[in-house]
Structure 1
Amino acid sequence: MSLRQRRILIGVTGGIAAYKTCELVRRLRDLDAEVRVVMTEGATHFVTPTTFQALSGQPVRVSLWDEHGEAAMGHIELARWAERVLIAPASADTIARLAHGLADDLLSTVVLATAAPVYVAPAMNQQMWANLAVQANVGTLRVRGIGVLGPADGDQACGDIGSGRMLEPHELRDILVASFGEQPLRGRTVVVSAGPTYEDIDPVRFIGNRSSGRMGFAVAAAARDAGADVTLIAGPVSLPTPPGIRRVDVRSARQMHDAVLAAAEHADIYVGAAAVGDYRPDVEAAHKLKKADGAPLRIELIENPDIIATLSTRPSRPFLVGFAAETRELAGYAQDKLRRKRIDMIAANEVGEGKGFEVANNALHLYWPDGDATLPEMPKTELARRLVACIAERFLSGTGRTS
């Protein structure tokens, strides 16, 4: 990785996570990036400007009323200089200021004046992050094209546990590196579903499948790296959330159906990588079922709602990408599913005998109404990048959508 001659402006606001930003600046400088730092007055109570000056090798700006810095309209010079602006940590106060378009300090003024992509890495108490006012402000930033990176879950300085931790420096560094690559989906909204679904038989037992969720999580990360604003609807898996992605956890097929439909309401693309259960028990027992002296146990199964078929009937729908996991006749079943469900692209893969589920590598054959492509076996992370590139090409060409 290299950021040679890339110009990155780091904004630091008042929060204990500011100490992590010192490590972020160091890591960016290790990749030969040019880094300048703007601090709010509150940030200086946690880390001194001298520290950031030593790490960045550049003077640190704090005040909009700096006579020397503003003699040549320094806030405009900084705004024009930056190729990327990242505010880390981004406090609840700063997020509110940006959402309301305030320009009463140097950092908020620079954000309003820059044409560079802007990112915020929220850091605050878990209850503050959950507050409806904060969530409304974050939603406003997303609508305006500001990238919201995190927050992560875990222990917090206040002693609470929950969502609100700033992403780690290496995670923020990697996102900035990826942002300088090709980003064909910048400004687009993508919803990805991943993992299995579980259908409860009783409070102890369930019907499920062997999907690990790795492919769907890799697709979500690849879509993020391609510039998209990503929501990940995850079945019951133990995988960590890729940085910079909103995650909604579900368990059953009906829960996933409802979550996907809600998230896809204004999405540009939906990638259905989840292995959604086709059937569920007609009745879920309230108590654990007991053996009955060797008598067979019969469970009546009824069909679950079909997520991608439901989306395909919407008058205004996203570009639809389905998955087909098959043990035989891969091409025939995949192409039939493509036509029958009126979707725009399908990614087909063989499963069973060490393929597809619970493995690090995979291979895909892509089909769309007038063509196909083969993605040979490779690590799922790289396969996801190749898949997202194909999706972006079809979506942006305007020729891929099924009417």
Structure 2
Amino acid sequence: MKTKSNDSKIKVLLLITGSIAAVRIPLLVSQLAKENYEIRCVLSKNAEKLIKPLSLSILSRNPCILEDDQWSNSQSTPLHIELSNWADILIIAPLTATTLAKWVTGNAEGLIPSILIANIKPIIVAPAMNTQMWLNKAVQENYKNLKNYENVLSLQPSEGLLACDAIGIGKIPPNNLIQLALEFIALHKQNEYRKDLLNKEILITGGCTSEKIDAARHITNRSSGAMGLLLSQVARFRGAQVKYVHGPLKIDKNLTDGIKRYEIETSVDLIRALDNEISNCDYFFMNAAVSDFKITSDTSAKIPKNKINEHLNQNFELVPDILKTISKSKKDNQVFVGFCAFTGSIEEARITIKEKIIQKGCDFLFANPIDLEGQGFGFLAQNEGWLFDTNNLEHYIKKTSKIDLANKLITQIISLKK
């Protein structure tokens, strides 16, 4: 999400503490600089032993700030206050157990703890530490307290191979996910970031399904899973408990980090997954692009080309409308949202869309064009669309990034169902 000019640059203060995961942060700084964010880096004493301040200065195009700078004679304002006031958004990556403990107990010893305690701006938190340290009761209690801070967007540490050669939870969240969280916070501009979906359970489907023809062929579609994933991450950033059921993803899987997800292949797999989860959700977004057709017979052989027509004609079947089926079990307190891709003008599609929302039994249906240049499929595509309900609502969301569209769509839906 590149900003247009120096005047409109979003100011990001990046706080780096002494976990070995700090070695990944120069790449994050480089990514953000390329996206035209203005970045200032602050290194703790221990982080300074792991990465060179000069590298961060060059990558960020700003002098790297060290602990020893806190009470410099050249400062006319306390540095932790000046930096807190300067920033639009803060990131602390990695967050160590020591800094976490100082933050939540109000211990302002050191420049970074002083900034954290003085700060009232939105801050993205990316913890990183050994698994046993992360699971320690005191650390978990501190982290639980931190998640209650209204201005904190906390990204859970990832699971995988750690620097100590153990496999477990404690890896710093991927740089691409930290950047996505930053893009999400930046959407709010003058509006405060709010966790307005706390205690809500949201079930989201996305991506394509695939139906087997024979051992070598299958029926599928172009859906990448990007929109469903961004709906999932936006809902999580806003405080919801999210489950994402999806087909094969054609995007960076690092962006799924932190979401409970289930990968499926066929329409039957999708129906089974939804049957297990649908009764527990408050909101259901049926964004998956389900294949319209399937083959009834199952074969382990490859059908010869001269016999494929006969095989298709004898075994061809339409896939049932999954949203229509699931909507029959919808509870009064649940909100179901369907999605509809269309080509041509909205004037031509409007009647069909309004018929679909009734047929499918959902509360809302979001319709987006896929035949306009730069819109439709893929993570980088932009989209526009119209949100319909069963009455006379027709809310237009103009062409924008998919993460902005996901955020605006969720905002509109929850505002109508309060």
TM range (shorter): 0.5 to 0.7
Whole-Å separation in 2 of the counterparts to 1:44 and 1:69: 22
Instruction: Name the Cα RMSD after superposition.
Output: 5.8
Shift in Å, 1:322: 1.3
Aligned equivalent of 1:12, options 3, 6, 16: 16
Report the 3-state secondary structure (helix = DSSP H, G, I; strand = E; otherwise coil) of the residue aligned with 2:338. strand
Tell me which residue corresponds to 1:234: 246
Aligned pair partner of 1:45 in 40, 45, 49: 49
Q: Which residue of structure 2 aligns with residue 35 of structure 1?
A: 40
Q: Deviations over 1:219-248 (max 9, x none)?
A: 539947x96457554322232147486342
Q: 1:323 deviation in Å? A: 0.6
| Alignment gaps of 5+ in structure 1 | none
One-letter amino acid of the counterpart of residue 116, structure 1:
K
Pairing 1:348–2:367 present:
yes
* Residue 314 of structure 1: how far off its partner (Å): 3.3
d(CA) in 2 for partners of 1:288 and 1:219? 36
Distance 1:70 1:199 in 2: 66
2:339 paired residue number: 323
The equivalent residue for 1:147 is: 153
Structure 1 residues 256 and 58, CA gap change in structure 2 (3 angstroms):
same
Inter-CA distance 81–165: structure 2 relative to 1 (3 Å threshold): closer
**1:139 CA drift (Å):** 7.2
| Alpha-carbon offset, residue 11 of structure 1 | 1.9
- Match of 2:392? 370
Pick closer, same or farther for the CA change 1:3–1:67 going to 2, 3 Å: closer
CA contact (8 A) 1:344 1:401 kept: no
Secondary structure, counterpart of 2:126 in structure 1: strand
CA pair 351-22 structure 1, distance change in 2 beyond 3 A: closer
SS in 2 for 1:314: coil
Task: Tell me how far 1:83 sits from its aligned partner.
Answer: 3.6
Matched, 1:196 2:208: yes
> What letter corresponds to residue 354 of structure 2 in structure 1?
Q
SS at match of 1:336: helix
Q: Is the 8 A contact 2:108 2:117 kept in 1?
A: no
Match for residue 401 of structure 2 among 358, 367, 382: 382
C-alpha offsets along residues 127-152 of structure 1, whole Å, 9 cap, x if unaligned?
A: 77997988998777556453235767
SS for the counterpart of 1:274 is coil
Corresponding residue to 2:285 among 264, 271, 276: 271
CA distance in 1, matches of 2:141, 2:292: 36
Using a 3 Å threshold, how does the CA distance of structure 1 residues 79 and 317 change in structure 2: closer, same or farther? farther
| Aligned partners of 2:203 and 2:285 also within 8 Å | yes
Once the two structures are TM-superposed, the CA of residue 119 in structure 1 deviates from its matched residue by 0.7
Question: How far apart, CA to CA, are the structure 2 residues paired with 1:53 and 1:180?
Answer: 23
Counterpart of 2:392, as a letter, is D
Q: Does 1:216 align with 2:227?
A: yes
TM-score, normalization by structure 1: 0.64
Q: What is the identity percentage for the equivalent residue pairs of Structure 1 and Structure 2? A: 20
Q: Verify the 8 A CA contact 2:364 2:387 in the aligned structure 1.
A: yes
Shift of residue 346, structure 1, vs aligned partner:
1.0
Residues 11 and 38 in structure 1, CA contact (< 8 A), matched pair in contact too: yes
Shift of 1:251: 0.4
Deviates more, 1:9-18 or 1:129-138: 129-138
The 2-side partners of 1:341 and 1:90 are apart by 46
CA contact (8 A) 1:8 1:35 kept: yes
- CA deviation after TM superposition for structure 1 residue 395, in Å: 3.5
If the length of structure 2 is used for normalisation, what is the TM-score?
0.62
Contact persistence 1:197–1:277 (CA under 8 A): yes
Q: In the alignment, which residue of structure 1 is the partner of 2:264?
A: 251
1:119 paired to 2:136: no
Counterpart contact for 1:254–1:304, Cα < 8 Å: no
What letter matches 2:288 in structure 1? A
Q: Aligned pair in 2 of structure 1 residues 303, 47: CA closer, same or farther (>3 Å)? A: same
Q: Which residue of 1 aligns with 2:175?
A: 168
Unaligned runs of 5+ in 2: none
| 8 Å CA contact retained: 1:193, 1:260 | no
SS in structure 2 of the partner of residue 246 of structure 1? coil
Deviation digits for residues 158-193 of structure 1 (CA, Å, limit 9, x no counterpart)? 678998355338x75675365334366742447643
The question of whether the paired residues in 1 share the 8 Å contact of 2:15 and 2:42 is answered with yes
**1:187 lines up with 2:163 in the alignment:** no
1:198, 1:251 within 8 Å by CA — same for their partners in 2? no
